[in-house]
Amino acid sequence: MAAVSIRNLAKRYDDNEVMRDINLDIEDGEFVVFVGPSGCGKSTLLRMIAGLEEISDGDLDIGTRRMNDVPASKRGVAMVFQSYALYPHMSLYDNMAFGLKIAGKSKAEIDAAVQHAAKILHIDHLLDRKPRALSGGQRQRVAIGRAITRQPSVFLFDEPLSNLDAALRVKMRLEFAKLHDELKTTMIYVTHDQIEAMTLADKIVVLSEGRIEQVGSPQQLYHHPANRFVAGFIGSPKMNFIDGSVAAIQAEGVQVQLPGGGLQWAAVDGSTLQAGQKVTLGVRPEHLNIAEGQAALQARCTALELLGDFSYLYAAYEGSEDALILRVPDSLDPPHGSLLHLAADPARCHLFGADGQALPRLASSGAAQRQH
Ligand code: ADP
Ligand code: MG
């Protein structure tokens, strides 16, 4: 087991800088998830940690050792890729034993390591089979098993579940959580699936265009996104953003004037704002409500998606093509085109300045407190 420390890391391909200013501390035993849109640098960062990509600038330490110039095989890490990369002509046993044989381990050592890994992953009854006689999920287990046998101090996973169907992904997600519970080894896991990120991570690292946007627990990122990018990226369906301007500032929050002239309070610290300034209100679909009394915003229902227990209602308002999304009870069935009066609990509102940075929230819903 080992901690990982990354200081001012950068990556260039020729003159093209694809990652910059990466600073990150991963604690010993932590489960850290890298998320971000395709092309943001998740795999590149993981591969630099693994030793599969050269580090252009900065420092990488694993444990107490600087690893920049240490070859991949000597870093004490094991990586599992999206494609399983098993040897088709070898049995599962031999697939898992291969790395240890190359490393010159004894037969007894190899057997103990393979049996141990196979047991953890529930594939101990399949060890004689060839990869082609396995399902996708079982194959991925073998790839994970191969990593476990190496007893790495850090596991690196690059979208390990992306090739599996949805039901199997859910199942394997739980297995990853159990695996971490059992091994307690530092794990770094790359995904673009934010449900995987939210459910697995002790700590999520949100990346965009080669930079870290925010690092925090799933709860911190959900309740206290630092900026519009993170606010829009974490949460599904994504947060609604409504442009407005500051109408009033008080100790308990900021009053925002929305399109159509309606007013909505947001429980955020507005001490850096001035009346009249442009801001963007953020409200998640699960927190935007159809109001009984005074509405902050009027919108017309454009579509309804029934999802069983609840529905997603889409609505458009004057001056915006972007549809709003509300999560509503399944009993609610407004006619197409009907006018809706919308409002939100101020404690559930987010507010962003013109620079996209979030204003500190005063009331925190859930246990998460803002951490600086
Ligand atoms: P992600 O895994 O988040 O989808 P990657 O880490 O694969 O993103 O890529 C990050 C950026 O680096 C992208 O812009 C990609 O085009 C670029 N990149 C990755 N590998 C290479 C390479 N071998 N040569 C040049 N550019 C690369
Ligand atoms: Mg990738």
In the block, which residue shows the tokens 């996973």?
157
Query: Does 369 have pLDDT greater than 50?
Result: no
Pick the atom of ligand 1 nearest to 46's CA: 6
Pick the atom of ligand 1 nearest to 42's CA: 3
**Whose atoms come closest to the Cα of 35: which ligand?**
1
Integer Cα distance of 286 and 283 in angstroms: 8
367 band by pLDDT with thresholds 50, 70 and 90 = very low
What are the tens digits of pLDDT across the range 195-216? 999 999 999 999 999 999 999 9
Q: Tokens standing for 297?
A: 């915003």
Cα 11 to ligand 1 centre (Å): 10
What are the tens digits of pLDDT across the range 92-105? 999 999 999 998 99
**CA-closest residue to ligand 1 atom 6:** 41
What are the tens digits of pLDDT across the range 245-263? 999 999 999 999 999 999 9
Question: What's the confidence (pLDDT) of residue 363?
Answer: 66
Q: What is the mean pLDDT of residues 218-231?
A: 97
Give the residue among 217, 278, 274, 256 at the shortest CA–CA distance from 349.
256
Question: What's the confidence (pLDDT) of residue 243?
Answer: 96
Question: What's the confidence (pLDDT) of residue 70?
Answer: 97
Mean of pLDDT over the chain: 93
For 120-129, 163-172, 232-241, which range has the lowest pLDDT when averaged over its residues? 163-172
Cα 38 to ligand 2 centre (Å): 7
Query: Does 368 have pLDDT greater than 80?
Result: no
Name the maximum alpha-carbon separation found in the chain. 76
Q: What share of the chain is helix, strand, coil (3-state, %, to 5)?
A: 25, 35, 40
**Whose atoms come closest to the Cα of 41: which ligand?**
1
User: What percent of the chain clears pLDDT 70, i.e. is strictly above it?
Assistant: 97
Give the residue among 261, 351, 332, 346 at the shortest CA–CA distance from 290.
332
**CA-closest residue to ligand 1 atom 1:** 39
- Other C-beta atoms within 10 Å of 66: how many? 12
**Residues in the ligand 1 pocket, defined by CB under 6 Å:** 13, 18, 36, 38-44
Integer Cα distance of 233 and 221 in angstroms: 10
Tell me if 313 sits within 8 A of 323, measured CB to CB.
no
In the block, which residue shows the tokens 């790359």?
190
3-state secondary structure of 5: strand
Question: What's the confidence (pLDDT) of residue 366?
Answer: 46
Cα 312 to ligand 1 centre (Å): 35
**CA-closest residue to ligand 1 atom 26:** 13
Question: What's the confidence (pLDDT) of residue 364?
Answer: 56
Query: Does 292 have pLDDT greater than 90?
Result: no
Q: What is the mean pLDDT of residues 223-246?
A: 96
Question: What's the confidence (pLDDT) of residue 85?
Answer: 84
Tell me if 79 sits within 8 A of 114, measured CB to CB.
no
Query: Does 32 have pLDDT greater than 90?
Result: yes
Integer Cα distance of 95 and 239 in angstroms: 45
Give the residue among 76, 118, 62 at the shortest CA–CA distance from 93.
118
Helices (H), 56-204: 92-102, 107-120, 136-149, 166-183, 194-200
**Whose atoms come closest to the Cα of 53: which ligand?**
1
Q: What is the mean pLDDT of residues 157-165?
A: 91
Pick the atom of ligand 1 nearest to 190's CA: 2
> Which residues are within 8 A (CB) of 247 and not within 5 positions of it... i.e. 6 or more apart?
255, 256, 257, 263, 275
Cα 25 to ligand 2 centre (Å): 21
Query: Does 289 have pLDDT greater than 50?
Result: yes
